[in-house]
């Protein structure tokens, strides 16, 4: 089959992001013998017109639409991406009878609802490297994909589907279709090539729809470094970004990864997300020696009460230690905060701000309100407290904001950030 994958994301905050997930799926589709093209619409002023032209020239038998996000998870800006994706679906349908398959990280959060909302025949939720090629095989055989994990489809007017399953051996997956990406524009705007060492997250944050040990898998370190080396030698890539939720966890895996990069003498730079769990001077030194040049430190809170409320598994003492370690090593970082969760008060926000101001931090970014996702502990709390109704759809963003927080806190946070160099809120970064 001739398969065209459209990557529709155009959100530039916090930075331009290459459609690496779509490239993973494109590589798997090509590995099964299909002809595949990947059209990245990020930089296009008129993405619909560009997509139409590619459809006309390529004449695909099937079109995949990769939806990276449903919304920006920001209560103040509250930008949703449903309508741009719906317009793309409608425009595609106008010029081709090829079936449309929705997928992507954003789509996966609300797969059954989005199949209905987008009015498409098929959707692939979760990891698509196995499910999407399996769906293609079913369509070629003209049978229903009713036994494929993660595939949603229409039967007798109803959307039916199977729960996604985690791919147990992610090292066995085909190489992503790097050759179908156009990385240079991203590099020119401080973007980086995404690289993956882990999938899933084994931590316990109350708001996260992806937490839990079942989906947490580690790649073989030699496979990860092989992939980095391939990108360096064949594509000239020198700047990478680990997509792992927490690159320093587990500790020993992180240490071995950083050492392996050093041993290969790859001369790269890289960035990643971390939290304070288990980090010590030895790890920070190894990070820097292996090319780390920027870190995103996900605190979410900086008061003991709220760290416990969010189930963060670290303390203010851990936060302070990490801040000093990064400062001493000369490593740039952005520290991210998410105010307003269960138990938050105006006093706990002030405690967090006072504490952060006492630390040697590079950049501080804060937002207000916590996006609610179905199946999370936060959703249960929000239902009990009347923020959402039992069974209510959360596809359109709903946020939890503690009623004990000053109603004018957003303005106060903005004023603080305007007075502090390298401190920002989402409202400021939008300008």
Low-confidence winner among 118-122, 178-182, 360-364, 417-421 (lowest mean pLDDT): 417-421
Mean local confidence (pLDDT), 265-285: 96
> CA 153, CA 326: separation in Å to the nearest integer?
49
Read off φ and ψ for residue 359, nearest 5 degrees: -105, 155
> CA 45, CA 222: separation in Å to the nearest integer?
40
Tokens 């296009």, residue located: 44
pLDDT at residue 14, rounded to an integer:
85
pLDDT at residue 189, rounded to an integer:
87
pLDDT at 428 over 60: yes
Q: Per-residue DSSP letters for 325-349?
A: HHHHHT-EEEEEEEE--TT--HHHH
Mean local confidence (pLDDT), 329-340: 97
pLDDT at 398 over 80: yes
Q: Among 372, 354, 297, which Cα is nearest to 327's? A: 297
Per-residue exposure over 214-251, b if at least 16 CB sit within 10 Å of its own CB, e if not: ebbbbbebeebbebbeebbeeeebbbbbbbbbbbbbee
Specify the DSSP element, H or E, that contains 230.
helix 221-235
Read off φ and ψ for residue 33, nearest 5 degrees: 95, 5
pLDDT at 275 over 70: yes
Mean local confidence (pLDDT), 143-149: 95
Strand partners, 108: none
Mean local confidence (pLDDT), 285-309: 97
Going from the C-alpha of 385 to that of each of 49, 217, 343, 371, 381, the distances in angstroms are 46, 35, 12, 15, 6
Question: Judging by DSSP bridges, how do beta strands 269-274 and 100-103 pair with one another?
Answer: unpaired
Share the mean pLDDT of the chain: 95
For residue 59, the tally of other CB atoms under 10 A from its CB is 11
DSSP state of 145: -
pLDDT at residue 429, rounded to an integer:
62
Read off φ and ψ for residue 118, nearest 5 degrees: -80, -15
Domains located in the chain, CATH noted: 2-161 (3.40.50.280), 192-368+401-429 (3.80.30.20)
Q: For residue 375, what pLDDT band results from cuts at 50, 70 and 90?
A: very high
> Could you report the per-residue pLDDT of 26-76, keeping only the tens digit for each?
999 999 999 999 999 999 999 999 999 999 999 999 999 999 999 999 999
Give the predicted TM-score (pTM) of the model: 0.95
pLDDT at residue 190, rounded to an integer:
78
Low-confidence winner among 46-60, 176-190, 326-340 (lowest mean pLDDT): 176-190
CB 249 within 8 A of CB 278: yes
pLDDT at 430 over 70: no
Angle among Cα 286, 287, 292 to the nearest 5 degrees reads 145
With pLDDT > 90 as the criterion, what percentage of the chain qualifies?
94
Q: Among 397, 352, 353, 354, which Cα is nearest to 374's? A: 397
Strand partners, 218: 198
């Amino acid at each position: 089959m001739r398969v065209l994958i459209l990557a529709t994301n155009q959100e530039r905050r916090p930075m331009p992001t290459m459609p690496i997930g779509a490239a993973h799926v494109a590589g798997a589709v090509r590995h099964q013998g299909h002809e595949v093209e990947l059209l990245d619409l990020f930089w296009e002023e008129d993405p619909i017109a560009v997509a139409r032209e590619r459809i006309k020239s390529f004449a695909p038998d099937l079109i995949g639409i990769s939806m990276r996000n449903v919304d920006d998870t920001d209560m103040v800006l509250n930008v949703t991406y449903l309508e741009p994706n719906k317009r793309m679906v409608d425009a595609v349908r106008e010029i081709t009878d090829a079936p449309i398959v929705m997928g992507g990280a954003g789509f996966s959060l609300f797969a059954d609802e989005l199949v209905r909302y987008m009015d498409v025949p098929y959707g692939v939720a979760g990891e698509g490297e196995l499910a999407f090629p399996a769906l293609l095989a079913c369509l070629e055989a003209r049978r229903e994909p009713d036994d494929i994990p993660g595939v949603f489809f229409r039967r007798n007017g109803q959307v039916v589907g199977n729960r996604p399953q985690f791919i147990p051996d992610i090292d066995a997956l085909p190489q992503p279709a790097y050759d179908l990406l156009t990385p240079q524009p991203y590099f020119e705007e401080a973007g980086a090539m995404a690289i993956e060492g882990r999938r899933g997250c084994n931590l316990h944050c109350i708001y996260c729809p992806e937490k839990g040990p079942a989906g947490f898998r580690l790649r073989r370190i030699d496979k990860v470094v092989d992939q980095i080396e391939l990108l360096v030698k064949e594509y000239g890539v020198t700047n990478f970004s680990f997509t792992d939720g927490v690159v320093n966890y587990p500790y020993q895996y992180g240490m071995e990864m950083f050492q392996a990069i050093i041993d290969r003498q790859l001369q790269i730079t890289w960035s990643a997300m971390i939290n304070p769990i288990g980090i010590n001077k030895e790890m920070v030194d190894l990070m820097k020696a292996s090319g780390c040049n920027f870190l995103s430190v996900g605190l979410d809170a900086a008061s003991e009460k709220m760290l416990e409320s969010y189930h963060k598994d670290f303390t203010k003492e851990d936060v302070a230690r990490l801040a000093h370690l990064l400062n001493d090593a000369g490593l740039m970082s952005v520290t991210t905060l998410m105010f307003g969760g269960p138990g938050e008060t105006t006093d706990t926000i002030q405690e967090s701000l006072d504490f952060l101001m006492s630390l040697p931090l590079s950049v501080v970014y804060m937002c207000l309100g916590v996006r609610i996702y179905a199946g999370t502990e936060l959703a249960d709390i929000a239902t009990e407290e009347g923020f959402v109704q039992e069974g209510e759809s959360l596809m359109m963003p709903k946020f939890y904001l503690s009623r004990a927080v000053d109603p004018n806190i957003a303005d106060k946070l903005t004023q603080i950030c305007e007075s502090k160099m390298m401190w920002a809120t989402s409202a400021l970064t939008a300008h």
